[in-house]
Amino acid sequence: MKKLLLATLALPLLAGCATSPTGRSQLMLISPESAIVESKKAYLTTVNQLDQQNKLVDDPKVMDRVATITGRLVYVAKQQYPNTSNWEWSVAIIDDPKTVNAWCMAGGRMAVYTGLLDKLKLTDDEFAQVMGHEISHALANHTAERMSRAMATTLGVVAVGVASDHHGAAMLGAAAAAKVALELPNSRTAESEADAIGMRLATQAGYEPDAAVTLWQKMGKAGGSAPPEFLSTHPAPGNRQAALQAMIPEMRQLNPSGTMAPVAPVQIVR
């Protein structure tokens, strides 16, 4: 019986494979559709809490800037990834001047902290690179991939528990894995993938690809000995700036004239 159960637990690991936009093989035990459903639940809970704490920015100037820049990126994303046309694209602007961070969940639900804009004094081009990077995580199904990693860990814990008759320990591990699934950091490979896809999105939306390099220079200088939250969840290898710099000539060929893309509708959460 134990051997049968172990074999059953291993089946999803063998079958759960997908391919990212860059051609990378991904472990997928959770479907992208399921990741979108779970992300929506988490997002709505977070937004409701922020609203109750009066942490959602309603400054028209800031809202317009975020909606315009993000809307151009979303327009390009919809053109290249038609399956995202029905996503509920939205951005919560969080009033937190100390936090330098932004994120995008599966399904196009995003957030940006005022500390990112104010502390780093981001240009429009640099902000486009941040949001392009974050949107790329959603386009490449990185949320589903992180959740799948958590599930793979859970299956391992359950298998060990069954094999040793420690059912209570197995269930506790499964519950813990489920709780942190949406909070796991992306892998370094996923971050590099988002760098490349994000720079492409921003360039095609009309923003300068050079800004990807100046953005990370600012990130590296921010916070002194205490790195920004953005860097704590976005591991940056020493050669990241060099890799981005090397991609600039190719990116410029995508939009030589720097033509601005139309602005797609993006809801600013209030």
pLDDT in tens, 159-182: 434 444 544 433 333 334 444 555
Alpha-carbon span 162 to 13, nearest angstrom: 18
Which segments of 5-85 are extended strands (E)? 17-19, 25-27
Sheet holding 267-269, edge to edge: 102-104, 109-113, 90-94, 267-269
Alpha-carbon span 265 to 136, nearest angstrom: 18
What is the structure's pLDDT at 177? 40
What is the structure's pLDDT at 254? 96
Residue at 88: amino acid letter: E
Parallel, antiparallel or unpaired: strands 109-113 and 102-104: antiparallel
> Helix, strand or coil for residue 120?
helix
What is the structure's pLDDT at 9? 40
Max Cα–Cα distance, the chain, nearest Å? 65
Alpha-carbon span 40 to 140, nearest angstrom: 17
What is the structure's pLDDT at 163? 44
Residue ranges of the chain with per-residue pLDDT less than 70: 1-17, 153-184, 223-238
Specify the pTM: 0.81
Alpha-carbon span 184 to 151, nearest angstrom: 12
The catalytic position among 38, 88, 126, 134 is 134
What is the structure's pLDDT at 171? 37
DSSP 8-state symbol, 110: E
How many C-beta atoms surround the C-beta of residue 121 within 10 A? Answer: 8
What is the structure's pLDDT at 146? 81
183 is a catalytic site residue: no
What is the structure's pLDDT at 129? 97
What is the structure's pLDDT at 18? 74
What is the structure's pLDDT at 3? 44
Parallel, antiparallel or unpaired: strands 102-104 and 90-94: unpaired
